Amino acid sequence: MTDTKPLRLFTEEAEDLKIIAAAVQDAVVKAGNLKYEQKKRRFGLELNRYRWETAPARKGQPGERVRALLAFDGVLSVKTRGITKTDPELILSLLNADFVADVAEPPGGKVVLLFAGDGEIVLTVEALDASLIDSDYVWPTRRVPSHERRKK
């Protein structure tokens, strides 16, 4: 394993959310680890993210995954499509996180979390306030995420 320090990323800018989105691309999360704390107006995902920043240069070498928390503050509402928490062990694969500004009421808008299989979570936020914090729990993996179609 590498000696890379855990990521600690914070943003209030849509452009900077793209950096966080790149870091969490292909992260996996159990449906039971999606949490909306309405009173605190906070939505969090405990996820296992692939460490793209330490990805091996050669194919066949192990990469790494790390336990991390992706959180959004100032969340006014949460809507889901194609995602259910009825099975808390269901594994979801996060593909992207994006912010769409509300031109009528800045700095508010919507954070769109897109998952494999067309699942989607839309967070209506009063302003973009996101954080990604890695833990110290890192483990090797030989499974490098791939978006290429498999040949039959």
42-66 per-position pLDDT tens digit: 999 999 999 988 877 677 778 899 9
The SS3 of residue 6 is coil
On whether residue 14 sits in a domain, the answer given is yes
On whether residue 29 sits in a domain, the answer given is yes
Range of the domain at 81: 8-54+66-141
On whether residue 87 sits in a domain, the answer given is yes
Alpha helix segments (H runs only) across 38-129: none
141-151 per-position pLDDT tens digit: 877 776 665 55
The structural domain count of the chain equals: 1
Report the chain's terminal Cα–Cα distance, integer Å.
34
The residue to which tokens 């992207």 are assigned? 96
On whether residue 107 sits in a domain, the answer given is yes
Would you write out the chain's pLDDT as a tens digit for each of its 152 residues?
556 789 999 999 999 999 999 999 999 999 999 999 999 999 999 999 999 888 776 777 788 999 999 999 999 999 999 998 888 999 999 999 999 999 888 899 999 999 998 899 999 999 999 999 999 999 998 777 766 655 55
Question: Which residues, at least 6 apart from 55, have a Cβ–Cβ distance to it below 8 Å?
Answer: 63, 144
The SS3 of residue 124 is strand
On whether residue 152 sits in a domain, the answer given is no
Q: Is the pTM of this model over 0.85?
A: yes
